[in-house]
Structure 1
Amino acid sequence: MRPVRAPWRRLLGALDPRGWSLTVRVVTVTVLLSSLAVLAVGGYLSSVIADGLFTQRRDRVVAESLTTRSGLVETLNADTGRGQGQELDTVAQFVQDTREGGADAGGREIALVPAGAQGTVSVISTDRVLTDLIDPELSAAVASAPDSLRLRSVEIRRDGRSEPGLLVGTRVAVPGAGGYDLYLLYSLQPEQDTLSFIQRVMLGGGLVLEALVVGIGIVVARLVTTPLRRAATAAERIAAGDLSSRVRVSGGDELARVGTSFNDMAASLEQKVDDLTELSRVQQRFVSDVSHELRTPLTTIRMAASVLDGAREGFPPDVDRTTQLLTAQVARFEGLLEELLEISRYDAGAVELDAQVHDLRAIAERSAEDVRALAAARGSELILDLGDDDLEFEADARRIDRILRNLLTNAIEHGGGRPVRLEAAGTADAVAVAVIDRGVGLDDAEAARVFDRFWRADPSRARTVGGTGLGLAISLEDAQAHGGRLQAWGRRGEGAVFLLTLPRQAGATLRAEAAPLPLMRCLGHQEERR
């Protein structure tokens, strides 16, 4: 299902405005708003013009209809006293003259219906279309209001096409000559053509206006985005380490003020970084110098402590105990000094790996043997599960041994007397070893900081194998020097897991899924937490 859904996800991502550039969003919003404005104004103007054209045409139609009605009345009055046949001829001639001589010749039709006539037998009309539009409802309306005009908007269908029209009806009654219903049909197609032309002109003008708005939007957007793009580029360079990067500022507007503020901030940041770098260099130099200077007196003290330790069998009990404490503390001090020297070498970039092919199983067994006495003293059982995988890899054995001893010592110290497991496995490209305890554990915040220098989860807690807080930090540096990873996770009160993953070839790049499958069960804490 994933290959099928991926294109849709990419399409939805492309349609998400949050992923668009500022220029595209500004132009898009400008076009949408201007389009709505043009449509609203265009619709309003079109409606007003249409109403104006219709009102003007209707007033003219009413005036012409009244004139035609007056002419019919005069014609009927002049024809009073003649026979019915002559009257019909006179009416027919009036209809014809009105059709041909009107101001709207070709756009007006006329029909006369004798009052009370049924059907269209006695109807005199210039066009069949007009008589088809006369229905009983209109006839009744005309008959109910003599001497008034009845107007109705109609659709004129002729030769397969339709056009708008206005139908006018009125009753004309002449004493002694009978009465007629006069119907006039006016075409509104000229007005419709005028309205269509105006709408086309407005549409063309709207498109031209939209093009101008798009151009203006692009220009305005670039005026805003160009300084922002420069600031973003400068920020990216600063993030990449070029603290001398600055924004070119021109003008005195708000964007120029932003650029000036950015440059001031960058200058202040550069100065602070330089100060911190110098302070760090001084601190590193101090640690390195002090560590080296302490080696000579420490060597003398260690030799003296060794002589005393060799002769302590003849010492009184209190002197013998003091000699033991002196020997142990000198050994501890020597270890602390070695850690300080090692971390100073990493800070100075002076670490070189003595990489050779080794068996991780042998290194792990040797490391476990070194801490077995500590495990016995703390009541923790040390369990090794090294499996049957091929665990040969290229590494500096001294540094890998130091990592494992640090991890095992840490697990024993915080294991609460419970068993500590060491498991190892390998894949085609990597080897890995996990140290698992069921002691006080780690929460998420502690796991994120456990490799920080001089950091302790609980500084007030008593320690049986005290140190500087550099052991895990040095272990992480050792792992990364090999191109490997050192990870930690756990749960408070349930224990912790430390997983060391190393490439089979020192310095090679590890894949994200490099942890061997047999050790994936160690990830249980992490997977449940997710």
Structure 2
Amino acid sequence: MSRGTEEAGGPRRGILVGIRLTSLRLRLVVVFGLVALTAAVSASGIAYWLNREAVLTRTQDAALDDFRQDMQTRAATLPLRPTQEELQRTAERMADGDKGYSVLLIGERAEGKPIAGVSDPDTFTMKDVPQSLRDAVDDRQEIAAGNSVPYHLFWQRTERGGTPYLVGGTRIIGGGPTGYMFKSLDQERQDLNSLAWSLGIATLLALVGSALLAQAAATTVLRPVHRLGEAARQLGEGKLDTRLRVSGTDELAELSRTFNKTAAALEKKVADMSARDESSRRFVADMSHELRTPLTALTAVTEVLEDEADSLDPMIAPAVNLVVSETRRLYDLVENLMEVTRFDAGTARLVLDTVDVADQVTACIDARAWLDAVELDAERGIMARLDPRRLDVILANLIGNALKHGGSPVRVSVRPADDELVIEVRDHGPGIPEEVLPHVFDRFYKASASRPRSEGSGLGLSIAVENAHIHGGDITAANSPDGDGAVFVLRLPRDVSARSGGEGDSAEADGSDERGEEDAR
């Protein structure tokens, strides 16, 4: 026999600002905290809601039961047309004691002439009764199987001045006054506020506890992960004997075992590859060294044959010329292979000297009789500290490559750039095909498969770039922006000793020759 309505405020929406978390420890703490916060807030919210409903329901049921009982025992005994004094006295009696509510009784002293009696006019008047509650109380309902009485007791929670109140009302069946009760719920609100504070403190303590637990859990989990990361870093630095201590049977222990097996397999594979590589390098070096002595003798013989070529039988002369050219080509190949072997073995050393770059470029061109085919743009006085012999090898390969595969004239320009030396070799040929550009410095690479027997070996540019690297410089290859030829740019530090931290080692007796313009386009 009760029906109620309750006013509720809408939830306030918060804005979550996303923060990029890069630390796994921090992410674990945040996740633990969010889980604990969600659980604590949910539990506290449910507990608050259940307690709130229990407190309010208990208070309102007690007050409404007392009011209904007083309406049946006191208000129902009033005459059909009570006086104002009778209503006032009855309302005061109904509100007496520790019931904690005020009472307002409305009757009629004559048809259409209402009168009212209030237990406390300063606290409760008819203005405090919502119109919806008045309409519900005055509404006469039809008697039916599910409704045995025409009037019922109705209640509603309202606020006045920020204080919550319970307003209830009903009327006497068969004629008589209509009664309303007005009870403050301020004490219940204070109790619920205390409960909310207690639940809030409990939630905060749960959040702090979860953060501490997350920190402990993160430390337990991340310690082996940190060890694994450190071991992986050492493995990446080349310490292939790095292993992890394995303890336990969990997933992290299995990961450590897998890491150890992988590291052992990698160490064995690298050892095998290093042994094979060392064997290959030694074979090439030994072979080149062994070939050098007979090639020296063959070269001497071919020089004699070349000198006597004019007096030889015309039928024999072409064969002699072929032997001479192929012998020289084989000698150049052996010398280049020995030079490549030194680079691979890490035994190549610089012999530094302070030189005038323009003089060095001029000497390189003049020694090979290229003065008529090369244009030189270099000012005297550009000094650099480098290895003159290796610079000569670089220039011989770049200029020779431009003359052989590019187009004349070949232009060589030298210019300083801060602490660098920039030498540009430009030709006026067809340029380098785009698919060839990434491979021009590869060993034994030749752009055309249809001419595998070129005069070069395919090692010249690779030796040039290795000589640049040992200086701390580099060589780049590109096509001219105007489409007229190819451009090779050599960049070297002007003082190699300043970058390498020393004067360089003594010259090795490698017998390297300043030859090689072999790479093709």
TM-superposed deviation, 1:363: 2.4
Pairing of 1:100-139 with structure 2 (within 5 A): 100-101=96-97, 103-104=98-99, 107-115=100-108, 122-131=116-125, 132-134=127-129, 138-139=133-134
Task: Letter of the 2:474 partner, please give it.
Answer: R
Q: Secondary structure at the match of 2:177?
A: strand
**Match among 426, 439, 448 for residue 430 of structure 2:** 439
Aligned residues with identical type, % of pairs: 30
Q: Could you tell me which residue of structure 2 aligns to residue 472 of structure 1?
A: 461
Q: Does 1:142 align with 2:150?
A: no
Distance 1:480 1:140, change over 3 A: closer
Q: Does 1:429 align with 2:423?
A: no
Q: Distance in 2 between matches of 1:119 and 1:460?
A: 124
Asked whether the 8 Å contact 1:442–1:491 carries over to 2, the reply is no
Asked whether the 8 Å contact 1:371–1:408 carries over to 2, the reply is no
Q: Secondary structure at the match of 2:498?
A: coil
Q: Does 1:481 align with 2:485?
A: no
Task: Letter of the 1:148 partner, please give it.
Answer: H
Pairing of 1:139-218 with structure 2 (within 5 A): 139-145=134-140, 147-157=151-161, 162-172=162-172, 179-218=176-215
**Match among 388, 391, 397 for residue 382 of structure 2:** 391
Q: Secondary structure at the match of 2:315?
A: helix
Distance 1:49 1:135, change over 3 A: closer
Asked whether the 8 Å contact 1:99–1:110 carries over to 2, the reply is yes
Asked whether the 8 Å contact 2:357–2:380 carries over to 1, the reply is no
Asked whether the 8 Å contact 2:108–2:114 carries over to 1, the reply is no
Pairing of 1:351-366 with structure 2 (within 5 A): 351-366=348-363
Distance 1:228 1:137, change over 3 A: closer
Q: Distance in 2 between matches of 1:294 and 1:185?
A: 119
Asked whether the 8 Å contact 1:247–1:263 carries over to 2, the reply is yes
TM-superposed deviation, 1:449: 4.2
Structure 1, 290-299 or 221-230: larger mean CA deviation: 221-230
Task: Letter of the 1:189 partner, please give it.
Answer: D
Q: Secondary structure at the match of 1:508?
A: helix
Q: Distance in 2 between matches of 1:449 and 1:265?
A: 33
Q: Distance in 2 between matches of 1:419 and 1:44?
A: 90
TM-superposed deviation, 1:360: 1.9
**Match among 404, 407, 418 for residue 398 of structure 2:** 407
**What's the CA shift string for 1:100-123, capped at 9, x where partnerless?**
31x42xx31122233489999854
Distance 1:457 1:230, change over 3 A: farther
Structure 1, 342-351 or 231-240: larger mean CA deviation: 342-351
**What's the CA shift string for 1:124-179, capped at 9, x where partnerless?**
2414342131355544443334743231211133xxxx22111012234786xxx4
Asked whether the 8 Å contact 1:149–1:170 carries over to 2, the reply is yes
Q: Could you tell me which residue of structure 1 aligns to residue 304 of structure 2?
A: 307
TM-superposed deviation, 1:389: 7.8
TM-superposed deviation, 1:260: 0.7
Task: Letter of the 2:467 partner, please give it.
Answer: D
Q: Could you tell me which residue of structure 1 aligns to residue 31 of structure 2?
A: 29
**Match among 213, 218, 222 for residue 221 of structure 1:** 218
Task: Letter of the 2:385 partner, please give it.
Answer: E
Asked whether the 8 Å contact 1:408–1:435 carries over to 2, the reply is yes
Q: Does 1:322 align with 2:319?
A: yes
Name the one with the larger helix percent. 1
Q: Could you tell me which residue of structure 1 aligns to residue 7 of structure 2?
A: none
Distance 1:231 1:495, change over 3 A: farther
Distance 1:94 1:495, change over 3 A: farther
TM-superposed deviation, 1:393: 0.7
TM-score by length of 2: 0.80
Q: Secondary structure at the match of 1:288?
A: helix
Q: Secondary structure at the match of 1:114?
A: strand
TM-superposed deviation, 1:92: 2.7
How many aligned positions are there?
470
Distance 1:446 1:26, change over 3 A: farther
TM-superposed deviation, 1:266: 0.6
Asked whether the 8 Å contact 2:101–2:181 carries over to 1, the reply is yes
Asked whether the 8 Å contact 1:247–1:259 carries over to 2, the reply is yes
Task: Letter of the 2:397 partner, please give it.
Answer: N
**What's the CA shift string for 1:442-499, capped at 9, x where partnerless?**
53x75444433334444444454221x3222221221122222222345999754322
Q: Distance in 1 between matches of 2:121 and 2:369?
A: 119
Distance 1:32 1:488, change over 3 A: farther
Q: Secondary structure at the match of 2:399?
A: helix
Asked whether the 8 Å contact 1:482–1:507 carries over to 2, the reply is no
Q: Distance in 2 between matches of 1:421 and 1:138?
A: 104
**Match among 479, 483, 492 for residue 502 of structure 1:** 492
Gaps of 5+ in 1: 1-13, 511-530
Q: Could you tell me which residue of structure 2 aligns to residue 341 of structure 1?
A: 338
**What's the CA shift string for 1:174-202, capped at 9, x where partnerless?**
86xxx433221112223323322332222
TM-score by length of 1: 0.79
